Amino acid sequence: MEVVLSISSLFFCFLLLLDSSTALPLCVDSWASFTLNTTLGFCPYNGSTCCSTIEDAQIQKQFQLMNISDPDCASLLKSILCAKCDPFSAELFTVQSTPRSVPVLCNSAIPSNSSQSKEAVQDFCSEVWDTCKTVPIKNSPFSPSLQGQGGATPTNTNATKLTELWQSKTDFCDAFGGAFNNESVCFEGEPVALKNSETPINPPHGLCLEKVGNGSYLNMVAHPDSTNHAFFSNQMGKIWLATIPDEGSGGQLELDVSSPFVDLTDQVYFDTQFGMMGMAFHPNFANNGRFFASFNCDKNKWPGCNGICSCNSNVNCDPSKLGTDNGAQPCQYQTVIAEYTANATASKPSSLAVSADPIEVRRIFTMGLPFTSQHGGQILFGPNDGYLYFMMGDGGGSGDPYNFAQNKKSLLGKIMRLDINNIPSASEISKLGLWGNYSIPKDNPFSEDKDLQPEIWALGLRNPWRCSFDSESPSYFFCGDVGQDLYEEVDLITKGGNYGWRVYEGPYPFTPTESPGGNTSLSSINPIPPILGYKHSEVNKNEGSASITGGYTYRSRTDPCLYGRYLYADLYAGAIWGAIEEPENSGNFTASKIPFSCAHDSPIKCDLVPGTNLPALGYIYSFGEDNKKDVYVLTSTGVYRVVPPSRCSYTCSQEKATTTPPSSQSHATHLNNFSAYLSLHLSSFLLLLILF
């Protein structure tokens, strides 16, 4: 099965000196591009663009004030100014964090192995110099002071010609030019489409798994100390510190079920839809011992469960008039992010701590829930910015009846971005109307969209279930978003992005059965469509029992045929997909369902689906990634690690011919005990309704 969805049908070849860590279609202000129904009046862009009609008019006015007499030069300058409207303008106009006055101009040939659609790029930088060098250009964007480099340093401060501003063509193109190669694209005066590589990238033959643990967990987080340790947590509220065996050693997870790293079950409310949903360890945890848990609580059972109701006057919602489900009162249950600390001493720093204090250091965030489902709850730190990201569902109710996900003053159906390193005073928190102990990053989208609640990073999500940053390209922020009745989706999250729910379910318009909270019209938003997804009917003929589980971009060398593919799954169907972006940096992803098997020498024998040789994974709750970038599948039947394909007799041409055979068994601590078994079967069936 092949699934192909694109952010836009056409992307332009404007990526400059493109580093893999920043390759992503983004506008200069780091917002996602949007779709216009008509072509701009001045700049030749339609479809996906970074310019509104107002910005287009501003560029036209800037161009007119230049008063360029030569028509050929004027045409070139118009194209250069209009490059700000390109979906990739962030990469065009920012190089190594330095803003530029103009995009990089092509001044060399494209290598034969490049992905640009033409055989060669013209020397556009030379063309600009040769055409415009003696043409007066008022308010010239080519001023050396704007570029931050030395030019001719004219004594005449009213210099307008390139020959007055720069010593030579060589100096000019050193400042404004750039070569095209497989990591960078330059601007040649007009949009240039990317194309797929001549050799198609075939999907892997199969995914090989080994079972390394029997426990049932919702979360796995690699220890920040970069060792072979990782934290695992379950829905009931316990976190364990485990030692991960080397691949091929025959070992199992070394984890003492009876001795958790921390036990938060007294604070966590555990039920079918509730529990501990996420955990995150501060990037500097090894030194400061700070870590965070995201969970649900019941204010009728725990006095520490209190906070503002998400149905409040700011969103024109009255809790007393809000419908209830399952007999619960609105905001009886809360979503909480709390901070804790590891038990460390001067002689035993946090990096060596094996336990933590269950008493919270501070309450980072608390919010009362309107219903009893769809409250997400994952937390993670951004690898580049160090801020805490919080994934929040729409709060429940069929079809998001109160339209929380599209309400810019509601925090439901959003991804939030919080600064937990700069905690304001209690009076400042009250004055700012914050929901806890954090501050707002200054570059959050509210700085440009005053209607947005300042915590919001992205909106229009139903129930984001498992998000991750690509460890090699951190600007790629993937989230699996659970659908309702029709479609499951993967979104590429960007600053201020609106992902459509409940106006859309995936790429399909959605009509709610009831809407006491009002509607949002299709024409009033510019939603970003999913990059990947599937209909319920594709995994279940009855179009039911489908729920996406987001995963990771595979960056381990253990299975080289998976490298660079984004792995995700369906909770119920037991299906796993791998998606590849082709061409690179285009935003176009193609997914293939990947067959999987269990290694014959798996440390723990895999149970099989009756009548088959397929491992019985049960329900796929989540994915994990260790410090070696190996990927794990967290399921109702245990913890599985992706291992070399040859261990399952799959072929991969890139796998080394010699593979170290695993030993028959190690002396690692075995987890086949009653506690693990009980934990597995108590939590497995209780999670099934959490995503709905």
Q: Report yes or no on 387 lying in a domain.
A: no
C-alpha count within 13 angstroms, C-beta hemisphere, residue 383: 13
Residue 112 lies in a domain: yes
* Any domain includes 105: yes
The larger pLDDT score, comparing residue 585 to residue 454, is at 454
User: Is residue 420 assigned to a domain?
Assistant: no
Q: Cis bond leading into 583, ω under 30°?
A: yes
Q: What angle do CA 593, 596, 599 make, to 5 degrees?
A: 165
- The mean pLDDT value for 269-289 works out to 95
* 44 located within any domain: yes
Q: Average pLDDT for residues 143-159, to the nearest whole number?
A: 60
Q: Give the span between the Cα atoms of 457 and 469, in whole angstroms.
A: 15
**Phi, psi at 85, each rounded to 5°:** -85, -5
C-alpha closest to that of 468 among 458, 477, 457, 480: 477
Q: Residue 12 — pLDDT band, cuts 50, 70, 90?
A: very low
CA–CA dist 230, 218 (Å, integer): 13
**Which of the four pLDDT bands, split at 50, 70 and 90, describes residue 15?**
very low
Percentage with pLDDT > 70 across the chain? 83
Range of the structural domain that residue 138 is part of:
10-178
Per-residue confidence band for 633, with pLDDT thresholds at 50, 70 and 90? very high
Cite the DSSP H helix spans in 336-479: 426-432
* Position 456 in a domain: no
Share of the chain above pLDDT 90, in %: 66
Residue pLDDT, tens place only, 41-75: 999 888 788 898 999 999 999 999 999 999 999 99
Instruction: State the Cα angle at 238 between 235 and 243, rounded to 5°.
Output: 110
Q: How many domains does the chain have?
A: 1
Cα end-to-end distance, the chain, whole Å: 26
The DSSP string of 504-569 is EETTEE---S--TT----GGG--PPPPSEEEEHHHH-TTS-S--EEEEEE---SSSTTTTTPEEEE
pTM: 0.83
Which residue has better confidence, 175 or 131? 131
> Of 641, 593, 592, which Cα lies nearest the Cα of 615?
641
More confident residue, 110 or 634: 634
> Is the model's pLDDT at 9 over the cut of 50?
no
Is residue 2 included in any domain, yes or no? no
Interior angle at CA 251, CA 246 and CA 257, nearest 5: 110
Beta strands in 126-206 (DSSP E): 177-178
Asked, for residue 272, whether it belongs to a domain, the answer is no
